[in-house]
Structure 1
Amino acid sequence: MERGVLMASNALNSLLNPVRMNILQLFLENETETVKRIAEELPDLPPASLYRHVNKLVEDEIIEVCAEYKIRGTVEKVYRLKNDPSLHFYAFAMTLLRDFDKYLQNKDYDLVQDRIDFQSYALYLSDQECDELVQTLRETLHKMADTKSGGGERRLRKFSFAVIPGDEKGK
């Protein structure tokens, strides 16, 4: 098996762990993290388990040490998500799965009433048409993102999309 395929497989298996997915979420929100900051965000995670999960993420080449600082005789490591497109996509997909799983934990969920929708469209677009579509979506989403909750009927809704070239045969 090629090294890149093996790395991607290890990374995916590592990210399927719910604790490591929670840790990864922090890296998606902040460019860098320390074990101390992760512990503050995940207070129910015992320190030994936290270190084990962080080390596994390093071992599977999902995160890397980007800085080290001496603090009172110990070394504090600063970590960041590795710059690997497959990891970023896995994180994106896993975030969607985690959010949907959280939604399904609510016993009274109603897909129609809650306006749950997920679709995949196969579109034949030139590069220019694709750029225009993405720009229109971004402008619309940025306009909507500027709205405040304001109570009432408004509720938080997450909108995610990915643009990926398709396989003409398999679409």
Structure 2
Amino acid sequence: MGVSSESGVAEVVLHPVRLRVVQAVSGRELTTAQLKELLPDVAQATLYRQIAVLVEGGFLAVVGQRPIRGTVERTYGLGERMSHVGREELSAMADAQLRVAFLTFLGSLGEIFDRLLSSTDADRREFLGFGTGHIYLDEDDLAPLQRGFDELIAQYRRDAPGKRRVALSTVLLWDNE
């Protein structure tokens, strides 16, 4: 799949392997070898191809390079484009596309959960939590809520000594009951 820097975020990121790569890199910088360790079920050729698509689309950036055994090892970080599907793009998607995108997202959560259950780390459930709560909004409330949430968690988005990586996922659905 050839993608350009104008390709939609959903077109690029809501592919199962690309989504996992973006999630793995989020908040840290990783080499291709480190990504391969984190995604052992993904064939190396597939991983390299999907990394190239993400770099081409501006979602990943090469943040470092070093020669190693006659080749160049690249280190990747998140690129300039935000790997978030915005309201405009979601609104433009057909119902079937939106369903696939949402199920891809849920599938990635399931993979994270499965890794937690298979972990031998004694503290693996220390940060586990899930639930549904309801809030009341109108269209004018949504943007300030999202900005405030982003500001609140911004300080926790970078890897730091002594910190554990925790997946925080949000879903906003209109509950028409």
Give TM-score, length-normalised by structure 2. Answer: 0.52
CA 100–46 in structure 1, closer or farther in 2 if over 3 Å, else same: closer
- 2:126 corresponds in structure 1 to none
Choose from 46, 50, 62 the match for 2:47.
50
| Deviation string, structure 1 residues 22-64 (Cα, Å, up to 9, x no partner) | 111012242x111101100000111111111111111112111
SS at 1:24's partner residue? helix
Q: Distance in 2 between the 1:118 and 1:8 partners?
A: 34
Aligned residue number for residue 116 of structure 1: 132
The answer on 1:64 being equivalent to 2:61 is yes
Higher relative contact order (CA 8 A, sep 6+): 2
Map 1:123-162; keep pairs closer than 5 Å: 134=148, 138=152, 160=170
Find the counterpart in structure 1 of residue 6 from structure 2. 7
Aligned equivalent of 1:28? 26
Which sits farther off after the overlay, 67-76 or 93-102?
A: 93-102
Q: Which runs of 5+ in 1 are unaligned?
A: 104-113, 143-155, 163-171
Contact 1:26 1:38 in 2 (8 A): yes
Structure 2 equivalent of residue 41 of structure 1: 38
The one-letter amino acid paired with 2:63 is: C
Q: Distance in 2 between matches of 1:53 and 1:18?
A: 10
1: distance between equivalents of 2:83 and 2:72?
Answer: 28
Residues 25 and 95, structure 1, Cα contact 8 Å, conserved in 2? no
What amino acid is the match of 2:17? V
CA deviations on 1:69-119 (whole Å, 9 max, x unpaired) are 0112211011111133xx24339x97996247756xxxxxxxxxx743465
* Structure 1 runs, 4 residues or longer, greater than 6 Å off: 93-97
Give the TM-score of the pair, scaled to structure 1: 0.53
Q: Could you tell me which of 51, 70, 73 is aligned with 1:73? A: 70
Instruction: Provide the secondary structure at the position in 2 that maps to 1:90.
Output: coil
Cα distance in 1, alignment partners of residues 83 and 25 from structure 2? 10
DSSP 3-state at the match of 1:49: helix
Aligned to 2:85: 90
Count the aligned residue pairs: 123
- The answer to whether the Cα contact below 8 Å between 1:7 and 1:61 also exists between their aligned partners in 2 is no
Which of these two proteins has the greater Rg computed from alpha carbons? 1
Residue ranges of structure 2 left out of the alignment (5+ in a row) = 91-100, 111-129, 157-165, 173-177
